[in-house]
Amino acid sequence: MQNRTRTSNSEGMLRVRGNHKYKTCGICWVLLVVMFSSASVADDPFISLFDGKTLDGWVTLDDQPITKGWEVVDGTIHVKVEKERSGYIKTTRTFENFELEFEWRIAQGGNSGVKYLAKESDSDRGRAYYGCEFQILDDKRHKNGRTPQKTAGALYDLYAPVADQKHLNPIDKFNHSKIVVDNGHIEHWLNGKKIVEATIGSKDWQAKVAKSKVSSVKDFANGPGVILLQEHLSEAWFKNIRIKPLPKTDHEQVKRSADVAPADRPNVILIYTDDHGYTDLGVHGIDKHVDTPIMDKLARGGTLMTAGYSSAPLDIRGKGPAILEKSAELSSFTGCDGYALSHYGGAPFENLRAVKRGLHKSKWAAHFT
C-alpha cells in the first residue's frame, strides 16, 4: 500500500509520496501552462497581416491578385529584382489608428519602404497612392543615405531619425520596426528605440509638408488608408507583420465634456516621484530617457484633470513644496497615517497630526480632507 501522505511546501504545491511522487503536481502545471497559453492567444490584440505562407490579404494597387515580382520565401514576403518594375502591393483593409510591427531586411544598396495612411489622391505629380512612409534603406551604400530625412527609419522626406537612438543591424540581418499612429500622433521605432515623433496637422508638420514632395497632395495623411509595401528595383524581405487597432478619440465629445459640472468630471491622481537619475535607473539599463506613454496618451486624448490628489514625496524639504505651492487648490493628502512621509528634520512622524504640523512648518501649500 502506497504512502500517500500529503505535505505542503512554501509554494503551496501538493507533494505525493510513493511511486507516483509529483505526478499530480506535474498534471497541475501542465494544465496551468495550457490555460495561460490559451488565454494569451485569445487576448492577443494584434491582427496578423501575413500568415507566412501566402499573400492572402495583399493585392496590387489596382486591386488585382499579385502575380509577379512578389513571392513568399522561407516565411517572408520577398520582392525580387526584375527587368521591369513589379509595382507596390497593399493590404485589402484600411487602418487609421494602430500599432504596426514588422521585421525587414534590404539588399546591399537597396531602397524600399512601408507606407501607411496611404490612399489614392491627386497632386501636381498626378494621381497615385500617397501616404506617410517608414523609409527602408541601405544607408551606407544608397545615395539617400546622405540626406537624414531619407535614411532608414525616417518619416520619408519629412522627419529624420534621432541619430543617437538609431541602430541598424548588419545588412544580412533583420531589423524590427514599429509604427504607431494614435489620433494624429506618429511614432517610428527601430530595434526597440523611438527614432521619430510627429503630430499630423501641427505647425511643424505643416511647415515640413509644404517643403516636401507631397506638398500638393490633397488630404495627405488625413483619415484611414492602406498599408503599402514598396518596390524600387531592390530586393527586400518582410516578415512577422502584424497590427493592433487603436481606439479613435472623439474630440467633439471631449470638447462637449468641458461643460459638464465639476462633480461629474473624473478625478486624477498625480504622483510626484524623485530619484530618476542615472544612478537610480542606469542599473536597469535605462540610460537615455524615461518614456511616459500613458501620460502622453492622456494628454493627447484631451483627458480632463479637474480634481487631483498629490502623493507625498519622502523628502519633504525637497521639490515637493515647490510643486505643491503651485497647485494648492488641487493638492491634498488623504488617508495618511504618518508612513507616507517618514521623516522631517530627523524626527519620525507618528501620526497625522504630526504630519500636518510638519507640513505647515515647512511651508507646504497643502490641505487635508
For residues 312 and 320, give the distance between their C-alpha atoms in angstroms, rounded to a whole number.
7
Torsion region of 107: left, alpha or beta (phi above 0 gives left; psi -120 to 50 gives alpha): beta
Mean pLDDT within 284-313: 60
Q: At which of 245, 260, 283 does a domain end?
A: 245
User: Which pLDDT belongs to residue 5?
Assistant: 44
Residue 148 clears pLDDT 60, i.e. is over it: yes
Give the CATH number, domain containing residue 92: 2.60.120.560
162 and 308 together in one domain: no
For residue 6, what pLDDT band results from cuts at 50, 70 and 90?
A: very low
3-class DSSP state for residue 262? helix
Percent of the chain with pLDDT over 90: 52
24 and 161 together in one domain: no
User: Which pLDDT belongs to residue 298?
Assistant: 66
323 and 218 together in one domain: no
Cβ(136)–Cβ(111) under 8 Å?
yes
User: Which pLDDT belongs to residue 238?
Assistant: 98
**Chain centroid offset of residue 159 CA:** 18
Residue 127 clears pLDDT 60, i.e. is over it: yes
Count how many domains the chain has: 3
Length of the chain in terms of residues written? 369
Beta bridge partners of 156: none
For residue 139, what pLDDT band results from cuts at 50, 70 and 90?
A: very high
Residue 324 clears pLDDT 50, i.e. is over it: no
User: Which pLDDT belongs to residue 305?
Assistant: 54
Q: Is residue 12 part of a domain?
A: yes
For residue 161, count CB atoms less than 10 angstroms from its CB and return exposed for 0-12, middle for 13-18, buried for 19 or more: buried
Torsion region of 320: left, alpha or beta (phi above 0 gives left; psi -120 to 50 gives alpha): alpha
* Higher-confidence position of 263 and 133: 133
57 and 204 together in one domain: yes
* Higher-confidence position of 216 and 311: 216
3-class DSSP state for residue 353? helix
> In this structure, how many other beta carbons lie within 10 angstroms of the beta carbon of residue 361?
11
Closest CA to 187 of 103, 277, 247, 100: 100
For residues 11 and 108, give the distance between their C-alpha atoms in angstroms, rounded to a whole number.
54
39 and 101 together in one domain: no
For residues 340 and 92, give the distance between their C-alpha atoms in angstroms, rounded to a whole number.
55
58 and 88 together in one domain: yes
Q: What is the DSSP string of 9-77?
A: -TT--EEE-STTTTHHHHHHHHHHHHHHHHHHHHH---EES--SS--TTEEETTS----SSEEEETTEE
Angle at 75 between CA 70 and CA 81, to 5 degrees: 30
264 and 312 together in one domain: yes
Q: What are the pLDDT digits (tens) for 49-83?
A: 999 999 999 999 999 999 999 999 999 999 998 87
33 and 52 together in one domain: no
Q: Is residue 1 part of a domain?
A: no
**Residue ranges making up the domain that contains 320:** 251-368
For residue 40, what pLDDT band results from cuts at 50, 70 and 90?
A: very low
Mean pLDDT, all residues of the chain: 75
Q: At which of 245, 265, 282 does a domain end?
A: 245
For residue 273, what pLDDT band results from cuts at 50, 70 and 90?
A: low
156 and 228 together in one domain: yes
Q: What is the DSSP string of 98-131?
A: EEEEEEEEE-TT-EEEEEEEEEEE--TT-SEEEE
Residue 347 clears pLDDT 70, i.e. is over it: no
Q: What are the pLDDT digits (tens) for 215-268?
A: 999 889 999 999 999 999 899 999 999 999 999 886 555 555 555 555 554 555
For residues 361 and 317, give the distance between their C-alpha atoms in angstroms, rounded to a whole number.
11
User: Among all chains, which residue has been given the C-alpha cell 492572402?
Assistant: 56
153 and 91 together in one domain: yes
Mean pLDDT within 136-144: 97
266 and 223 together in one domain: no
Q: What are the pLDDT digits (tens) for 76-124?
A: 999 998 878 889 999 999 999 999 999 999 999 999 999 999 999 999 9
Q: At which of 225, 245, 265 does a domain end?
A: 245
Percent of the chain with pLDDT over 70: 56
